[in-house]
Amino acid sequence: MNWNQRLAPDDISPWLGQALREGLLDDAKPSVLFHDLVGLRSRLKELHRVFPDGTLHAIAIKANPVVEVLRAVVEAGAGLEAASMEEVELALAAGCLPERLVFDSPAKSRSDIRRSLELGIYLNADNLEELERIGESSPELLAGAKVGIRINPAVGEGRIAATSTGGLRSRFGLAMPQDPEGIEAFAKRLASFEWLHGLHVHVGSQGCDLTTLVPAGERALTLARAIDAAAGERRIDTIDIGGGLPTRYRNEDVGIAPAEYVAAIRDAAPALLDYQLITEFGRSVQAPCGFAATRVEYVKELAGEPMAVGHLGADFALRVAYRGQDWWLDISVYSPNGEPKDLVDLRPMHVAGPLCFSGDFLARDRMLPAIEPGDILVFHDTGAYTMGMWSRHCSRGMPAVVGIEGDGTFRTLRERESARDMVRFWS
């Protein structure tokens, strides 16, 4: 498969036409979020193909928490990564076996820890205090515990500060010392937790590349060996290399295919591939499977420039609206029957959302064909960190999430939220 390939406007057009014919997108239902389940399965298959046999691909739930999407992930043989106890429950609801579930929250309470150990899920601790709390569990629970510790390998930040976690001042995990004496003392401390068998690194989400991802794994390998040496026996058998493979949001973005990642690990630190590996990819698996369609309600003039107002905005693409300098979504324009508009006579257009918030723009001065009321805007590569970050500002319900199956049929993965659902939400 071509991992870095994106869904093009022409790929989307037949699905849009079908959605219009089936009445999924109309005046009363002005937006739909689509997820290509065939694409999702082939991405998961590619992960399983290129990583060593037995690697647990625990797909990050936060990237797309829709239970039917998670179920598709589980049925394709992958596991799940949870960042909260609620995500643990989502994983179980999606049919994930506890032994295929990794729990990573940085703020686990004592009851979270107890429930995780009782369930038998894989727990990545964030700090020494958490390891000490785990150590207070009953000997029976500890005997079966699968525990790793997250370390900050301090390999440097990626392009986006807020989603980088490998800088010296990053807030997650234990900062790993850089010098040999420091590493030795650190390893000795960690070796004192006899039931600790895993190491975890995750250096960021979007904006990282192989120059940070691969050294993070190398640092984990160095520490694993130091812990084994300090313990005088093989202790660390599992290395969780986290997620962080970037997604191409524009054609000029450079993608990294999992095969390239594995080849780079094989070059730099082949011994890493001999460990029980866990990965936690989210964005790179889910984002390219999703696209979102919304009807243009109005086109009005803003200081002489045209502005299209649709039904998806900062509620749907929070980061694009609030941090436009870091985040971008490609937009395609279709006529009301789902035909892509010709890319001629392009003009700068503003694309605004529906919220009563003056910053609710998903694009400003974007070169687009003339947009008219009733046209349909498609936002590309929206399968990750959109539904999971849905904002309740102005209480607009989330549109239906529609899965696209192999024979081109649609399956509702999550019903559209109605006004009544909003009343229930806020009651």
Ligand X SMILES: Cc1ncc(COP(=O)(O)O)c(C=O)c1O
Q: Read off the tokens for 315.
A: 């509620």
Work out how close the CB of 283 gets to ligand X at its nearest, in angstroms, rounded to a whole number: 3
Taking the alpha carbons of 263, 268, 274, 280 in that order, is the dihedral positive or negative? Answer: negative
Name the segment binding ligand X (CB under 6 A); options: 11-19, 239-247, 355-363, 370-378: 239-247
Question: Any catalytic annotation for residue 356?
Answer: yes
Name the segment binding ligand X (CB under 6 A); options: 174-182, 238-246, 296-304, 401-409: 238-246
Cα separation values, 139 from 134, 142, 317, Å: 11, 5, 46
Angle of CA points 132, 133, 134, to nearest 5°: 90
- Residue 116's region, left for phi above 0, alpha for psi from -120 to 50, else beta, is alpha
Nearest to 316 by CA among 413, 417, 403: 417
**Are 284 and 254 contacting, i.e. CB atoms less than 8 angstroms apart?**
no
Q: Is 61 in the site for ligand X (CB under 6 A)?
A: no
- Give me the residue whose beta carbon is nearest to ligand X: 243
Q: Is 60 in the site for ligand X (CB under 6 A)?
A: yes
How do 298-302 and 305-309 pair as beta strands? antiparallel
Name the segment binding ligand X (CB under 6 A); options: 3-11, 254-262, 277-285, 408-416: 277-285
Interface pick for ligand X out of 158, 215, 244, 290 (rule CB under 6 A) = 244
- Token pair 């004592």 is at which residue? 110
Of the pair 65, 338, the CB lying nearest ligand X is at 65
Classify residue 279 by its DSSP letter: E
Of the pair 79, 242, the CB lying nearest ligand X is at 242
Burial of 406 by CB count in 10 Å (0-12 exposed, 13-18 middle, 19+ buried)? exposed
Name the segment binding ligand X (CB under 6 A); options: 125-133, 242-250, 315-323, 334-342: 242-250
Q: Read off the tokens for 250.
A: 């524009």
Work out how close the CB of 92 gets to ligand X at its nearest, in angstroms, rounded to a whole number: 19
Q: Is 242 in the site for ligand X (CB under 6 A)?
A: yes
Nearest to 234 by CA among 178, 286, 191: 191
Q: Annotate each residue in 198-227 with x if it binds ligand X (CB under 6 A) or - if it does not, as one string.
A: ----x--xx---------------------
Q: Which residues pair with 101 in a beta bridge?
A: 80
Q: Is 315 in the site for ligand X (CB under 6 A)?
A: no
Catalytic residue among 96, 289, 356, 394: 356
Q: Is 39 in the site for ligand X (CB under 6 A)?
A: no
Segment 90-109, which members bind ligand X (CB under 6 A)? 104
Work out how close the CB of 165 gets to ligand X at its nearest, in angstroms, rounded to a whole number: 7
Angle of CA points 387, 391, 396, to nearest 5°: 95
Interface pick for ligand X out of 116, 137, 152, 284 (rule CB under 6 A) = 284
Chain residues that interact with ligand X, rule: CB under 6 A: 60, 63, 81, 104, 202, 205-206, 242-245, 280-284
Please identify every residue annotated as catalytic: 356
